[in-house]
A and B are shown apart, each in its own frame.
Chain A
Amino acid sequence: MDVIMALAMAGKLSRSSIVLALLRLLPLFCGILLAPSCVATPDTVPATLLQVKAGFTDPDGVLSGWSPEADVCSWHGVTCLTGDGIAIGLNLSGYGLSGTISPAIAGLVSVESIDLSSNSLAGEIPLELGTMQRLRTLLLHSNFLTGAIPPELGGLKNLKVLRIGNNQLHGEIPPELGNCSQLETIGLAYCQLSGAIPHQIGNLKQLQQLTLDNNALTGGLPEQLAGCSNLRALSVADNKLEGTIPSSFGSLSSLQSLNLANNRFSGEIPAEIGNLSSLTYLNLLGNRLTGGIPEELNQLSQLQVLDLSKNNLSGEISSISASQLKNLKYLVLSENLLEGTIPEGLCNGKGNGNGNGSSSLENILLSGNNLGGDIDALLSCTSLQSIDVSNNSFTGEIPPAIDRLSGLVNLALHNNSFTGVLPPQIGNLSNLEVLSLYHNGLTGGIPSETGRLRRLKLLFLYENEMTGVIPDEITNCTSLEEVDFFGNHFHGPIPEKMGNLKNLAVLQLRQNDLSGPIPASLGMIRLQLAGNRLTGAIPTELGRLTGLKILDLSNNNFSGDIPPELFNCSRLTRLNLEGNSLTGAIPSWLGRLRSLGELDLSSNAFTGRIPVELGDCSGLLKLSLSDNRLSGSIPPEIGILTSLNVLNLQKNGLTGVIPPEIRRCNKLYELRLSENSLEGAIPPELGQLLELQVILDLSQNRLSGEIPASLGNLVKLERLNLSSNGLHGQIPSSLQQLTSLHLLNLSDNLLSGAIPGALSSFPAASFAGNDELCGAPLPRSSSCRAPRRLRLRLLGAEVSVIVAAIAVVSAAVCVALLYIMLRMWSNWRAVSVSISDGEESTASTVAHGKAAKWGARDGKYWKVGSVTSAAEGKYSSTSSETSVLHGKPARAVNSKS
C-alpha cells in the first residue's frame, strides 16, 4: 500500500525529473521501507532537522543552537520521548521564521506533532508530509503558504488536528481528507479555497471542529455533515455557499457553535435547529433567508448569541422570548423585514412588568426593520447594555423609567418617530457612552441632568424639534467626542466652557436659533455655526484652532474684518463666511491657506481689490466673492486656479477686461461675472472652457465687440446670459451647436442681423432690446429682408421624395436593397440635423442651488416647450409636422419659422 502511494507520488512529479523526484523522496523511502532502522537512529534525525533548518530563514537566530555536537533532544523546539531520545515533536511556532518548509521534514518519521504556525513561511505545503504515519498534530496556520492543499495529506491515518488556515492556499479542499478517520479538528479558514465542501468530510465521525471561514467556497452544505455526530463547532462564514440549511443538522446534538454568516443561504430557518440543545452561538447574518423566526429556537436554553441580521426574515418577533432563552446575551435581528411590536413578554415570560433578572439579555439590536409601537417592553430586560432600535417606525415617548437599565452603554433610537421630551432620568444612566436620538420628533429641552453622563462620547440630537437653551452642564460630559444638534430650535448662547471638552472633535450646531459670541475655548477641526443669529466680530481666538479644517459661519450677523489671526488656521479646507455683514478688504494671506478648496465670502460688504495672492490657493474648487463691493480688475492670476469648478464674482464693482487667462480654468462648470462694470470684448478663449455647464453669465456689464464664435464649442452649456451689455454684430451661427442650451438671454445689446434658425425656438424675450436684430422668434415687423428659410422648405420637399422612395422600394423588398436604404436614410438624416429640441422638464428639477439668482424673470428666456415659458411664450409655436416614417406627430421643426 505504502509503496503504491509512493509510486503514485513519483508519477505526479514526473513532469520535472523523475530522478530528482526520487532523490527528494529518498528520506521517504527510508521512512517507508527501512522504518525500523531509521526511526530510532539518532544519526538521521539531526541531519534531517538540519536539512529542514536549511530551508528556513531564521532572522532571530532561534535555531542557532541546533548543532550536531549537542544532543538533538536539547535542540530548541524539539521534543523527545523521555528516556529513549526519540524525537516526537517539533514546535517552532512564532519564531519569526521565513523561507520554505523543506520536503525533508517527512524524514522525521517518529514525529507526532509539528507546529510551524505563526511564522512567515512561504512556498507550498510539501506533499511528502502525507507519509508521516505517526503524525497526530499538524499546525501550519498563520503563514504565507501558497499552492493547493496536497491530497496526500489524506494518508495521515492518525492525524487528529489539522490547522493550516490563514495562509494563501487556493484550489479545492481535497476530498481525501475524509480518509483521515481520526481527525478531530480541521482548520482551513482565511485562505482562498474554492469549490465545494467535500461530502467525504461527513465520514469523519470523530470530527469536533470544522472551520472554513473566509474562503471562496461554493455549492451547498453537504447533508453528510450531519454524520459528524461529535461536531461541536461548525463555522463556514464569509464564503459563497448557497442552498438551504439542511434540516438534518438538527441531529448534531453536540453542536455548540454554528456560524453560517455572510453566505448566500436561502429558504427558511429549519425548525430542527431548535433541537441543537447544546448550542450557545448561532450566527446566520448576511444571508438570503426568508420566512419567520421559528418558535423552536426558544428551546435553545444554552444559547448566548443569536444573530439573524441582514436577511429577508419577515413576520413578528414575538416568537423570541429572552425569558426562555435564559442565557441569551446578544439578540441581533437588524436589517430584516420584521414587523409588529417588541413583545411585552420579551424578557418577562408573564408580561406583568416586574421582570427581575429573568433574562440575561445584554444587547438587543433591531435596527432597519418595520417595527413599531413603543419600547417600554425593553425596560424589563434589566441586564441590557446596548439598545439599537434605529431605522424603524417606533413611536411613543422615551420612557422615564429608562434609568432602570442602569448598565446601558449604547442607546440608539434614531430615525424613528419618537415624540415627547428627553426625560431627566437619562442622567442616571452613568455608563452611557452613545446617545443617538436624531431624526425623531422629540420636543422640549436638553435636561441639565445630561451633564452627569461622564462617559458620554456621542450625543446626536439632530433633526428633532428640541427647544430651550443648551445647558452649561453639558460641558461636564468630559468624554464627549461628537456633538450634533443640527436642525433643532435651540436658542441662547453656546456654553462658554464648550472648549474645555478636550476630546470634542465635532460640534455641529447648524440651523438653530443660537445667539451671542463664539466661546473662545473651542478647539476643534470642524466648526459649523451656519444659519444662526450670531453677532459681533469673528473672535480672534479662532486663530488658536490651528487644526481647524472647516469653518462655516455663514448666514449669521457677524461684522467687522476677517481677523488676521485666522491665518494660523493653515489647514482650512473650507471657509464659508457668506451672508454676514463683514467689511474691509479680502486679506491677501488667504493665499497662504494652501489646503483651501472652497472659499465663499459672498453677500458681505467687502471692499477693495481681489487679492492676486488668491492665485496661490491652487486647490481651490469653488471661489465665490459675489455680492460685495469689490473694485479693480479680475487678476489674471485667476488662470492659475486650474482646478476651479465654480467662479462667482457677480454683483460687485469690478472693472477692466475679462482676463483671457481664464481659459486655463478648464474645469469650470459654472462662471458668473454678471452685474459688474467689466468692459472690452468677450475673450474668445472662453470657448475653451468645454466643461461649462450650469451657466455662463456675463450679463449687466459694459462688454463690447462681437459675441465670439468660439462660444459655440460649449456643447454642455445649459444657460447663457450675455444680456445688458454693449455687444454688437451678428449672433454667430455657431451658437446653434449649443444643443444643451435651454436658457438663452442676449437681450439689451446692440446685436444686428438675422437670428440663426436653430435659435428661433427660444422666446422673443431672449433677443429683445436689440433694435437691428430680425427674424423669428421676433415679431414679423422685424422680419429680415433676405429670404432665409429656403433651406427648410427644400427640406420639406426632400421629405416627400424620400417618403415616396421608401414606399416604392419596400414594396419590392429584398435584404440587400434594404441595407442600401438604411444608408440612404442615414445620409438624409445627416443633412436634416434637428433644429429643435424635446420638451423641457419641469423648471423645478433643473433649478438648483443658486439658479434662483436669475430672478423671477427666469422663465422668459427658456426654450420653447419648457413649462415655465409656456405661460408667456406668446411668440412660440409648437405646431408639428408629420414624421415621415412613423405617421405620427413629432416635434421636429418649428413651422413658424
Chain B
Amino acid sequence: MAPRVALLAGAVVLLLAAGAARASNDEGDALYALRARMSDPNGVLQSWDPTLVNPCTWFHVTCDHASRVVRLDLGNSNISGSIGPELGRLVNLQYLELYRNNIGGEIPKELGNLKNLISLDLYANKLTGSIPKSLSKLKSLRFMRLNNNKLAGSIPRELAKLSNLKVIDLSNNDLCGTIPVEGPFSTFPLRSFENNSRLNGPELQGLVPYDFGC
C-alpha cells in the first residue's frame, strides 16, 4: 500500500504542476496530442513545448490577439500518422492546413466542432474512410479541399447546408453515389469531383437515391 500512495502523491504533484502550466484553454493540449500522433522526420514540431503557457510561440501555430489558436500550418511538412478527435477542441481555429503530407486514417467526426473554421485543407494525404456528416456543422467554412486522398463512401447530403462554402475539391478520391445539387453545390464545377471512378454525376432530386452505386 505504501508505495502506491507514494506513487499517487508523486502523480498529484506532477498533475498540479502540469495543470498549472497549461493555458486557460486546452488548445495547447489538443495540439500536443496531435504531435504525439504524428511521425515527424523533419522535426517541424520540435518547438511544440507543452510546458509553455499557451501554444502561441510554437512554430506553425498562429494565434490571435487573445492568444487563441486561429491557424495551423503543417502543409508540406512530411508528417505522417493520423488526425485525432482532440483537434476538434481547437474551437477558434480558422485555417487547418495539413495538405501534402502522408497523413492516414479517417477524418475524425470531431472536426465538425470547429465552428470558426474557414478553410479545411487536407488535400494530398492518405486519408481513408468517409467524409463525416458532422462537417456540415462548419457554418463558417468557405474552403474544403479534401482532394487526392483515399476517401470512400458517398458525399454527405448534409454538406449542402454549408451556405458559406465557396470552394470544394473532392477530386481524386474513391467516392461513390451522386453529387449533391442543392445549396452551394449548385455552383461547384464538376472538376471538383473528377477522378472518383464510382461517382455517378449530379443527383436528380427525388428520382435516384444519392448513394446510388455505392
| Interface residues of A, Cβ cutoff 8 Å to B | 256-257, 280-281, 304-305, 307, 329-330, 363, 365, 367, 386, 388, 390, 409-410, 412, 414-415, 433-434, 436, 438-439, 457-458, 460, 462-463, 482, 484, 486, 506, 508, 526, 528, 550, 552, 573-574, 597-598, 621, 645, 666-667, 669, 691, 693, 715-716, 739-740, 742, 810, 813, 818-819, 821-823, 825-826, 829-830, 833-834, 836-841, 845-846, 848-849, 883, 885-886, 890-892
Contacts and interface: CB of A to CB of B under 8 A. Distances in A.
Given A818-B208, A826-B190, A838-B164, A388 B16 contact: yes
A388 B15 CA distance: 10
B12 A438 contact: no
B24 A281 contact: no
Interface residues of B, number: 62
Contact of A434 (B17, B52, B62, B182): B17
A826 B21 contact: no
B164 A841 contact: yes
Nearest to B200: A822
B20 interface: yes
Contact of A818 (B8, B140, B204): B204
Contacts of B121: 716
7 contacts: A304-B1, A304-B5, A388-B19, A434-B16, A482-B21, A739-B166, A886-B181
Contacts, number: 181
B126 to A, nearest CB: 19
Interface string B163-200: 11111000000000010011010111111000000001
A436 B118 contact: no
A573 B47 contact: yes
Contact of B167 (A307, A458, A486, A739): A739
Interface string B8-37: 110011011101110010000000000000
Nearest to A386: B12
Given A412-B16, A669-B97, A837-B187, A281 B182 contact: no
A620 B11 CA distance: 39
A437 B21 CA distance: 11
A436 B16 contact: yes
B95 to A, nearest CB: 8
B64 A837 contact: no
Interface stretch (B69-77, B83-91, B103-111, B128-136): B69-77
Given A412-B19, A825-B201, 13 more contacts: A305-B8, A438-B20, A621-B59, A621-B60, A645-B60, A669-B73, A693-B97, A740-B143, A822-B178, A838-B184, A883-B186, A886-B186, A891-B187
Contact of B187 (A433, A830, A846, A892): A892
Given A667-B75, A821-B204, A834-B188, A841 B118 contact: yes
B207 A330 contact: no
A742 B202 contact: no
A458 B51 CA distance: 12
Contact of A813 (B1, B94, B178, B207): B207
B116 interface: yes
A823 B208 CA distance: 13
Question: 6 closest Cβ contacts across the A-B interface?
Answer: A436-B20, A834-B187, A826-B201, A833-B189, A439-B24, A822-B201
Contacts of B97: 669, 693
A829 B190 contact: yes
Contacts of A415: 24
B214 interface: no
Contacts of B204: 818, 821-822, 825, 885
Contacts of A886: 181-182, 186, 205
Contacts of B208: 818, 822
Contacts of B71: 848
Interface in B140-167: 140, 142-143, 145, 163-167
B108 to A, nearest CB: 20
A414 B164 CA distance: 38
A821 B178 CA distance: 13
A410 B200 contact: no
A329 B118 contact: no
Given A598-B59, A818-B207, A892-B187, A365 B166 contact: no
Given A845-B116, A846-B118, A458 B17 contact: yes
Contact of B118 (A715, A833, A845): A845
Given A412-B19, A841-B164, A846-B118, A486 B205 contact: no
A367 B202 contact: no
